[in-house]
């Protein structure tokens, strides 16, 4: 019987090292560089590259990938514990070589890329020398990929791509994009799309603008609205089979979603710690600390309960991924994690704002931004509603329909069966 919640002492030592390393070396970087993904920024490179080397030397680099894919193969459970630390900082996942969307894109290239593509893009991506973009969502359709219209047509040894994509995060920093385009328009809806690599320097590839999240300037926007104008890529830039775009997308999204959740655990634990510290520090009316107010106590208790529930769901899902080594068996679990994430994030971040009062909502605290980030988690890699539907459909597949007029658990029938089973005892002892 194995059922415990301890971390291996050896791995705990690595986590303890990571904890101080992130606090002392990485978190301060978040306050002095604009984008940890911008490999053209000399300050970013001067600060981040030596830290990346330390992580490599310590054997903690690119821990999301198994050895067959060029990583260390820590597995998802250990990665979850690592991400509970890394998620505190924007730069930390980059320093540890496991940042989205590059982690998922590396997985796609490792599974479906030709040797030439692996040499050109996977190697430098895994080494942390370049970054990438995943370009799938379109302006007229995000949630439902069957609405996509961006086309790639075969012309000799090349594909010619035309269309627009929306919220192609990090396109401005990327050396290549993985895009999902219609190549088989006459196929059934789920077999029309294919995935392909587009080098960012391809003639005809255009960034219309770098959209930012609410409150940020275009200068700092990283979610590009892009256009492919007769962009030509060689035939071997196709990833997976023609019409297999959904399959390729799922390769990255399964892992990507749970990785977001692991990092979210870090964010909400961070907010929770600040909330508690503020509650015991801030004096309100009659000289009492905030922590004496019952409704403040309720906010603390509710937050802790929700964080613990969410964290255990994330860890258990990570454990199941390692155990089954088959994402198809954990579709419901991952969707449940994905659907739970924005709610707990929003709840905890909102309470952190409230407990800090005017300071909490000001731009001198990160909590308002965290509330917005909770919506990010409810949209990126699929809207919450879709994940709830997925989880529900998966769960209901585990049950058989009853053909009877009343269900098998209808109390009169259950009682009659029990009386039949214990008829001899009832006859001997009678009933009260």
Ligand X SMILES: Cc1cc2nc3c(=O)[nH]c(=O)nc-3n(C[C@H](O)[C@H](O)[C@H](O)COP(=O)(O)OP(=O)(O)OC[C@H]3O[C@@H](n4cnc5c(N)ncnc54)[C@H](O)[C@@H]3O)c2cc1C
Chain contacts with ligand X (rule: CB under 6 A): 101, 134-137, 142-143, 167-169, 223, 376, 379-380, 382-383, 385-386
Question: Of the two residues 60 and 349, which places its CB atom closer to ligand X in the complex?
Answer: 349
Question: Of the two residues 389 and 426, which places its CB atom closer to ligand X in the complex?
Answer: 389
Q: Considering the complex, what minimum distance in angstroms separates the CB of residue 55 from ligand X?
A: 24
Q: Considering the complex, what minimum distance in angstroms separates the CB of residue 144 from ligand X?
A: 6
Query: d(Cα 195, Cα 242) in Å, to the nearest integer?
Result: 8
**Sign (positive or negative) of CA dihedral 63, 67, 69, 116:** positive
- In 170-307, which ranges are E strands? 176-182, 193-199, 205-211, 223-234, 238-239
Q: Considering the complex, what minimum distance in angstroms separates the CB of residue 213 from ligand X?
A: 6
The DSSP string of 140-196 is TBSS-GGG---EEEEETTEEEEEEEEEEEETTTT-SEEEEEEES-TTS-GGGSEEEE
Query: d(Cα 393, Cα 15) in Å, to the nearest integer?
Result: 37
Query: d(Cα 313, Cα 257) in Å, to the nearest integer?
Result: 13
> Nearest-CA neighbor of 194 among 141, 253, 154?
154
Q: Considering the complex, what minimum distance in angstroms separates the CB of residue 173 from ligand X?
A: 12
> Nearest-CA neighbor of 319 among 334, 338, 335, 307?
334
Angle between helices 76-86 and 245-281 (to 10 degrees): 50
Question: Of the two residues 162 and 291, which places its CB atom closer to ligand X in the complex?
Answer: 162
Question: Of the two residues 14 and 99, which places its CB atom closer to ligand X in the complex?
Answer: 99
Measured in whole angstroms, how far is the alpha carbon of residue 154 from the centre of its chain? 33
| Position with the least CB separation from ligand X | 142
Q: Considering the complex, what minimum distance in angstroms separates the CB of residue 265 from ligand X?
A: 18
Q: Considering the complex, what minimum distance in angstroms separates the CB of residue 102 from ligand X?
A: 11
Q: Considering the complex, what minimum distance in angstroms separates the CB of residue 363 from ligand X?
A: 19
Question: Of the two residues 51 and 136, which places its CB atom closer to ligand X in the complex?
Answer: 136
Query: d(Cα 363, Cα 358) in Å, to the nearest integer?
Result: 10
Question: Of the two residues 226 and 233, which places its CB atom closer to ligand X in the complex?
Answer: 226
Residue 285, Cβ neighbours under 10 Å: how many? 6
- Alpha-helical (H) ranges within 22-75 are 42-57
Question: Of the two residues 313 and 377, which places its CB atom closer to ligand X in the complex?
Answer: 377
Question: Of the two residues 171 and 299, which places its CB atom closer to ligand X in the complex?
Answer: 171
């Amino acid at each position: 019987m194995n059922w415990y919640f301890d971390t291996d002492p050896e791995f705990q030592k690595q986590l303890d090292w990571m904890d101080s390393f992130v606090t002392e070396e990485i978190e301060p970087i978040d306050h002095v560089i604009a984008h940890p993904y911008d490999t053209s920024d000399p300050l970013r490179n001067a600060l981040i590259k030596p830290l990346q080397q330390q992580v490599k030397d310590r054997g903690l680099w690119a821990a999301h990938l198994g050895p067959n894919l060029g990583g260390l193969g820590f597995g998802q459970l250990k990665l979850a514990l690592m991400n509970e630390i890394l998620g505190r900082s924007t730069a930390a996942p980059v320093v540890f070589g496991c940042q989205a969307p590059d982690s998922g894109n590396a997985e796609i290239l490792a599974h479906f890329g030709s040797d030439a593509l692996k040499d050109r893009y996977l190697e430098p991506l895994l080494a942390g020398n370049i970054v990438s973009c995943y370009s799938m969502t379109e302006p007229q359709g995000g949630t439902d990929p069957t609405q996509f219209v961006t086309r790639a047509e075969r012309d000799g040894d090349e594909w010619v791509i035309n269309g627009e994509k929306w919220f192609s995060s990090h396109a401005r920093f990327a050396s290549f994009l993985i895009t999902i385009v219609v190549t088989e328009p006459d196929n059934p809806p789920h077999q029309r799309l294919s995935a392909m690599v587009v080098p960012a320097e391809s003639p005809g590839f255009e960034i219309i603008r770098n959209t930012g999240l609410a409150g940020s300037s275009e200068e700092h926007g990283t979610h590009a609205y892009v256009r492919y104008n007769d962009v030509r890529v060689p035939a071997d830039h196709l990833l997976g089979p023609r019409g297999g775009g959904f399959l390729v997308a799922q390769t990255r999204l399964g892992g990507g979603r749970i990785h977001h959740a692991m990092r979210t655990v870090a964010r909400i634990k961070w907010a929770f710690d600040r909330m508690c510290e503020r509650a015991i520090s801030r004096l309100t009316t009659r000289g009492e600390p905030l922590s004496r107010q019952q409704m403040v106590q309720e906010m603390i208790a509710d937050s802790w309960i929700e964080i613990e529930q969410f964290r255990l769901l994330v860890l258990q899902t990570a454990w199941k991924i390692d155990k089954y080594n088959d994402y198809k068996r954990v579709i419901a679990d991952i969707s449940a994690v994905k659907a739970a994430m924005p709610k707990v994030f929003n709840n905890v971040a909102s309470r952190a704002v409230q407990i800090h009062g005017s300071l909490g909502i000001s731009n001198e605290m990160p909590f308002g931004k965290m509330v917005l980030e909770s919506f990010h988690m409810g949209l990126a890699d699929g809207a919450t509603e879709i994940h709830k539907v997925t989880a529900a459909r998966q769960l209901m597949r585990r049950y058989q329909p009853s053909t009877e007029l009343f269900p098998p658990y209808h109390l009169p029938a259950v009682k009659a069966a029990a009386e039949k089973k214990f008829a001899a005892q009832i006859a001997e002892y009678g009933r009260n």
